[in-house]
Structure 1
Amino acid sequence: MTKKMQPVLAYNTGEKDDKSWIITETRFSNTSLGKTEAIFALGNGYMGLRSASEEKYPFEKRGFFVAGTFNKFPGPQEVSELPNAADFLNMEMYLNGQRFDLSMGKIYAYEKSLHLKKAELTRTILWETPQGELFSLEFRRFVSLADKHVVGQKVTIIPLSNAAKITVESGIDGQVTNSGTQHFKEGSKRLLKNRILKLEQETTASGIRFVHFSKHQFRKTTPILDPNHQVVMKRRAVHQHFKAITVEQNESLTIEKISAVYTSLDKDNATEWVEQAQTGFERIDTYDALFEEHAQQWQKIWQMYPIEIQGKDFDQLAVRFAIYHLVCMTPSHDRRMSIGAKGLTGERYKGHVFWDTEIFILPFYILTYPDMARQLLEYRWLSLDGARKKARDNNYEGAMFPWESAWVGEGEVTPLFGDADVVTGEATPVWSGFEEQHISADIAFAVWQYYEYTHDDAFMDAYGYELILATAIFWQSRLEWNDQKSRYEINRVIGPDEYKEHINNNAFTNYMAHWNMQKATEIYHHHLKPEVKLRLEENWQLSHYMAKIENKHHKLYLPQPNTVGIIPQDDTYLSKEIIDLGPYRKVIASLLNTYNMEQVNAMQISKQADVLMLLYLLGDQFSDEIKLANWTYYEPKTLHDSSLSKSAHSLFAATLCETEIAYAIFSDAARIDLGQDLASSDTGVHAASLGGILEAVLFGFGGIQIKQGELHIEPQLPAAWQKLSFRFYWRDCPLQLTIESNRTLVRNDSADIVQFKNGGRLIELAPEKTVFIH
């Protein structure tokens, strides 16, 4: 009988110690490196670092990304992307002349772990060289949350068989590329004060300057060593070759490497920023001191997001994992930046920002950290010039937001071509940049969602109203009059279901555009202060366009439920061929290995939630019967060939009070990155899926909803959980929600009275009081 292979990832979820925060890779495979490089990635919002090993392997994908540092390689088919910056992790170690390489020799013990509580990566290894010598090695690493520029590494080596001569080569390697594209010019290199490596570079087109520093410290047991070294300079790289250090049997050699990166984006108009960076780096302390400051900052993070699940330990870990990565990828330091689809964990999607941020990530921040939600929306306001340019370039008016965004104001950055067509063999055009236009309404919707939860009038006056009105101006220019049917339509688009290209009257797009224009009308007549209206009149000719918006939005076609309650996803979806999706749900990639996009377009197959996403976002407009009928029709036809789909379906199922179905889908969503599929996350973690997992917990099982501007709390606890508790904000008032199997408590931690509804009852909760709602 064949021995069953043990899982590669282990989840240490003991309730009584720090192991409840640890994810561990238990077996080394030099052909499956991408999984933990991505899911164990470290970051602080300023930078993100894939967790490649210190030693290099052929199938690795090293990645280091600094938020906002976009660059465009020259060429008609090139678009801006986040450059893979210089690699400073690499440390080659030679043990009695044998290069440390886990693909050789024997591994007797191996654990690579991400410690979520303190955001530290560790590797512990017991390794025998091909010559039969045994070594213990421990690697530790963190990206500082206390100092956004700093990365710390510590390596401890113990010879167990006999004394060893240990040689180390380490430095800063700027020869890395984005899948072959080099985004940096050659820059200056030097060794400062005989101990600090320095590499300066500049991006080829955007002109963003980087300066990298690294310094090393060696010690045996306690004494600090100063080994002889040789500086090696190559093109775009500078290294130190440290001469052999003799280490006795069972004695330890510790190598600390502290690195930092600074860019010219850090300080606007600073004339001496490189010198300031160097002075700051020279003051940086040892690994342990830096790590302690870093760990204290992460302790504050976990206090900010006290989401507790009692039940299946994996579920609690999945929530912590999602929060961890959102913190690592959110550029809290700079409102000119937002969150890319892979965060800062990989090159996929080139670091670009999609609707993912507003629809799947922003709601978590709105509920738990409203100031961060506001900042992410300010990024969109700062991007209005690019949205205006895209509208103008396409002969429209107003603000037409790019499907993919990079630096503020840059405009559309969606690539023109994608993967090969399995039928023709030609590169497949990427139509999303031209046709996936619902993002303009998605942004407007997110702005209003933020306002409903916060009543942040200052934000709306300065930014929010303009975003909603400018996008409404776009939509009125986008509508097409159908003279035969006496109505406006929106033709040749792509909805959330990206399997359907060049379609007419996508229900999601039409309804969201209608909502956008209707909300603009309401704002224009009832919300604008005179001085705000005057400013927007000057910027957008409001009075001219508002007459058009009011006239047109009433006549926009909104697909209605048919006789059995099904809302047509588009004009032709319900008449397309129905096929059995069973085989393709088991191996999703096989569908597009069998059919090309033209063929898939002719079938009743959805990539992800489309009509169901509409019914969730605009839930007030549809009855429960309509929602259930569409769930029953569309979910079996959805392949979930998008990481956004599972969490969206879990969230929607929860609104139908299908709690156990919602939980089952939530469990699947939580395993997109954390599951045992060793290729699922090679190109980076799935940022929107992680945000969606948190949405499913807070809005789905937690039951937080807004209906007609009022807060509703309708919680539902899956059978697998005994308790769910979290804190959230409602209009500056912190509330604590605790859901147990036999009762639900809401505590008001503010100084104000809070009103909310539960089960049709209006509840008034006094300051500093708790109420049992069932």
Structure 2
Amino acid sequence: MLQKKENQALKYDKGAGEFKNWLISETYFNPEALGKVEAAFSLGNGYMGLRSATEERYPNEVRGNFVAGTFNKFLGDKEVTELPNAADMTEMTFTLNGTTFQLTTGEVLYFERTLNLKNAELSRHIHWRSPYGEEYKLTFSRFVSLDNKHIIAQKVTITPLSGDLNLKLNSSINGQMTNTGTQHFKEGVMRLYNQKIMKLEARTNESNIDFTHFARHEFTLENNVFTPKNTIFMDRRKIFMTFEPETIKKNETITIEKISGVYTSRDKDWQNADTALATFSSTANYDTLFDAHRSAWKNNVWEQYPIQIEGVDFDQLAIRFAVYHLTCMTPAHDNRMNIGAKGLSGEGYKGHAFWDTEIFVLPFFTTSNPKVARQLLEYRSLSIPGAVRKAKENNYQGAMFPWESAWLEDGEVTPIWGAADIITGEPTKIWSGFIEQHITADIAFAVWQYYQFTDDQDFMEKHGYELIFATAVFWQSRLEEKDNRYEITGVVGPDEYKEHVDNNAFTNYMAHWNLEKAIHYYDLLQQENPALLKALSDKWDLKTNYQKWQEKSAKLYLPQPNSELVIPQDDTYLSKKIIDLTPYKAASQVGALFLDYNLDQVNDMQITKQADVMILLYLLENEFSPEVKQANWDYYEPKTLHDSSLSRATHSILASDLGDKDLAYSMFEKASRIDLGQNMKSSDAGIHSASIGGIWQVVVNGFGGVRMLDGKLYLHPQLPEKWTGLKFPIYWKGSRLLVHITKNALEISNLSNKDALLTLHGNEITILANSTTLTTI
């Protein structure tokens, strides 16, 4: 019998003392809603991400361990490359006096599973009565080490409460895992070393990446280390050991540690499986590993990003949850890799990178950890060959970046077919990989934004200028001449409910911006670094393209506000049918619209999936008046379903700009609860990376009022009524600033040796090096 359910599955107030607003707890076990906690409570370090499936197995679980950058394409024409689900090293089966431990049998007298964000550790505390009336206390703890990126550590304690215990443990490295049925690995060598360390090798069947997995166990009974009777077994793609300790007396506690490691030939320091074994063999026990892991989170994360919200406990928890997952999902160790739309927490979107990184996630790192931001942008630079290939395949020039990206040379990896069409019963064609092209300008925008914040000239000379020029070459080749102007036709904009549209406002404006920036930097390099310009010109024929940029940029059609100050989302949007969206906006299920209509029908209605014109008003905000922003908000927000998780964050920031604090906060609340809230199906396929990054943007750019316009830093704080204070760090042109906003004052501490110039409420001020400035607001 399962534990009686409470009103809420997740609790946010379990933390006290040093852990106040650091803990998220699941308070009853629901076997029908495993995916939510597996993803939201997932562990990771940027090298790998581990879904938080339990040690024991259940029918509805989706176990997953994903190693960044290890993409593989299963042999077959209908498959695209994806992150393969590596061998599961967390599985353990416990037989207690002849009964297999399962929370779906017997009676759960107490259950609590907790993710401790501060220490990045997952724990379960259980009081279980078996079907035969025997009671046990079990605790499970695990972490994925931030100190040693290869290591997963688990600890289990079992205490028999009603009598002695005869325990049998099966513990495995299970290489039988699939990606929703697709097996990505060739079977490799299995072995047991020194009667202690299990090894399973595997190789991806197309990309030929070697994986080596190890696991070892240690046993303690009442603080005495011992080695139980054990037997090794091997099955197809699976190696496991059976342990049978001697009888454990009533109220005695047995502790089991399982330390696992994964190494791949994609690792920069990879040599072979033997060197990986030597490295793994030297790892310490759980507690020692945990101390180093906890210190790494303290020093590298929480002291690096000390964001404090004063006033609402859940909001403080939410921003920590965002920073936690930003750390777990980001491959900060390797510039050949990027961030997937589901991070490393699930199979959703196959681990591919979208514009989510540049527009929604990268700003966090650009302003909080520029070193990581640079590496993420270097990934785009290193993947230029794939972008060039895509451009050529589409009869364009320059670098046409894929809508979905994987490994550097892969090029476009967007699947061609998606969900079922509710009307025709056929798969829906995914057009994004063919015609959603704004990502090319989005990447150029992120390059420029990074440069403005950091003044990283070395990056620009090695990567940045080329990215801006190569993308501008694409745009000049993409533009179509018509009636003495240039247009962009047949695209998908950010609103993916509108396909094959002409002159999507966001796409046209961003392409124009890209061209203008290329012209600017061409002129700049001509004066300041002609040698670099010549090298880039020889590669990209910039002399010819410069003239085309000037001509076409001047004539590129930019949709203007109409008589009601509304910018047409595209050429036909404003003439389409309007329907009542109230039931769909209120639906708990994302995409409820498609239970009644197919995409072709939605394409002919004034329905917007996510921020489109609105995100244009955010990114290029100084090009539009407050009146235009208000008019477009009034027109488009009622027609926006927010069926993409990235949408509400943008709308919240704009609501702050428009002075509607209540609406801005309401949008923030909804965004912060997409993964963290009580909807127990919202995150089954993985957490929402763009939304996670968007939450940080709402806090810092929206409520904190931080903006970069024309190379200058602006602050215009607008705290929600429920908050009494907000504190966050920001890097600006080499200075690290700590900003503390209260209802009546703004305190800025410059923690560097360089003065910082910024604009506060329209007035320029200088924050002297190693000083603090206090201003009333």
Same fold (TM over 0.5): yes
Q: Is the 8 A contact 1:607 1:642 kept in 2?
A: yes
- Offset from partner CA, 1:351-394 (integer Å, 9 cap, x none): 00000000000001111101111110000000000000000000
Cα distance between partner residues in 1 of 2:157 and 2:51? 21
- Offset from partner CA, 1:44-78 (integer Å, 9 cap, x none): 00000000000000000000000000000122221
Match of 1:233 in 2: 234
Q: Is the 8 A contact 1:755 1:764 kept in 2?
A: yes
Deviation at 1:13, TM superposition (A): 5.9
SS at match of 1:245: coil
Match of 2:636 in 1: 634
- Offset from partner CA, 1:696-741 (integer Å, 9 cap, x none): 1111111111222211111111111010011111001011111101
Match of 1:644 in 2: 646
Q: Is the 8 A contact 1:218 1:255 kept in 2?
A: yes
Aligned length: 768
1:492 and 2:494 are equivalent in the alignment: no
Cα distance between partner residues in 1 of 2:755 and 2:283? 48
- Offset from partner CA, 1:277-304 (integer Å, 9 cap, x none): 1011111111011111100101111000
Alignment of 1:566-715 (within 5 A): 566-587=566-587, 588-715=590-717
Match of 2:291 in 1: 292
Closer/same/farther in 2, CA of residues 232 and 670 from structure 1, 3 Å limit: same
1:151 and 2:152 are equivalent in the alignment: yes
Q: Is the 8 A contact 2:6 2:28 kept in 1?
A: no
Alignment of 1:364-763 (within 5 A): 364-482=364-482, 485-527=483-525, 529-587=529-587, 588-763=590-765
SS at match of 1:188: strand
User: Mean alpha-carbon deviation: is it higher for 66-75 or for 580-589?
Assistant: 580-589
Cα distance between partner residues in 2 of 1:650 and 1:337? 30
Cα distance between partner residues in 1 of 2:660 and 2:450? 27
- Offset from partner CA, 1:402-444 (integer Å, 9 cap, x none): 0000001210000010001000000100000001000000000
Percent identity over the alignment?
55
Q: Is the 8 A contact 1:267 1:273 kept in 2?
A: no
Q: Is the 8 A contact 1:352 1:404 kept in 2?
A: yes
Cα distance between partner residues in 1 of 2:37 and 2:16? 24
Q: Is the 8 A contact 2:734 2:754 kept in 1?
A: no
Report the AA paired with residue 644 of structure 1: L
SS at match of 2:538: helix
Cα distance between partner residues in 2 of 1:553 and 1:407? 32
Report the AA paired with residue 568 of structure 2: P
- Offset from partner CA, 1:161-205 (integer Å, 9 cap, x none): 000101000010000100000000010101001110000000000
Deviation at 1:14, TM superposition (A): 5.1
Q: Is the 8 A contact 1:440 1:471 kept in 2?
A: yes
Match of 2:84 in 1: 83
Deviation at 1:4, TM superposition (A): 9.5
SS at match of 1:398: coil
SS at match of 1:314: helix
Alignment of 1:42-191 (within 5 A): 42-191=43-192
Cα distance between partner residues in 1 of 2:468 and 2:721? 41
Deviation at 1:98, TM superposition (A): 0.2
SS at match of 2:77: coil
Q: Is the 8 A contact 2:35 2:61 kept in 1?
A: yes
Report the AA paired with residue 627 of structure 1: K
SS at match of 1:752: coil
Match of 2:209 in 1: 208
Report the AA paired with residue 501 of structure 2: I
Cα distance between partner residues in 1 of 2:436 and 2:224? 62
Q: Is the 8 A contact 2:197 2:215 kept in 1?
A: yes
User: Mean alpha-carbon deviation: is it higher for 13-22 or for 563-572?
Assistant: 13-22
Deviation at 1:159, TM superposition (A): 0.2
Cα distance between partner residues in 1 of 2:89 and 2:579? 51
Deviation at 1:687, TM superposition (A): 0.7
Q: Is the 8 A contact 2:108 2:128 kept in 1?
A: yes
Deviation at 1:135, TM superposition (A): 0.3
Cα distance between partner residues in 1 of 2:60 and 2:245? 29
Report the AA paired with residue 42 of structure 2: A
User: Mean alpha-carbon deviation: is it higher for 192-201 or for 227-236?
Assistant: 227-236
Deviation at 1:244, TM superposition (A): 4.6
Q: Is the 8 A contact 1:202 1:208 kept in 2?
A: yes
Match of 2:220 in 1: 219
Cα distance between partner residues in 1 of 2:15 and 2:70? 40
Alignment of 1:256-405 (within 5 A): 256-267=257-268, 272-300=271-299, 301-405=301-405
Deviation at 1:15, TM superposition (A): 6.0
Alignment of 1:13-52 (within 5 A): 16-52=17-53
Cα distance between partner residues in 1 of 2:221 and 2:753? 57
Q: Is the 8 A contact 2:386 2:409 kept in 1?
A: yes
Q: Is the 8 A contact 2:10 2:678 kept in 1?
A: yes
SS at match of 2:244: strand
SS at match of 1:164: coil
- Offset from partner CA, 1:630-689 (integer Å, 9 cap, x none): 011100100000000111111221222322211110011000001111100011000110
What TM-score do the two structures reach when normalised by structure 2? 0.98
Q: Is the 8 A contact 1:13 1:313 kept in 2?
A: no
Match of 1:769 in 2: 771
Q: Is the 8 A contact 2:525 2:532 kept in 1?
A: no
For structure 2, which runs of at least 5 residues remain unmatched after alignment? none
- Offset from partner CA, 1:108-144 (integer Å, 9 cap, x none): 1000000000000000000000000000000000000
Q: Is the 8 A contact 1:73 1:183 kept in 2?
A: yes
Cα distance between partner residues in 2 of 1:630 and 1:230? 69
- Offset from partner CA, 1:239-288 (integer Å, 9 cap, x none): 001125311000001110000000001136x5x42111101111111101
Deviation at 1:99, TM superposition (A): 0.2
Report the AA paired with residue 750 of structure 2: N
SS at match of 1:472: helix
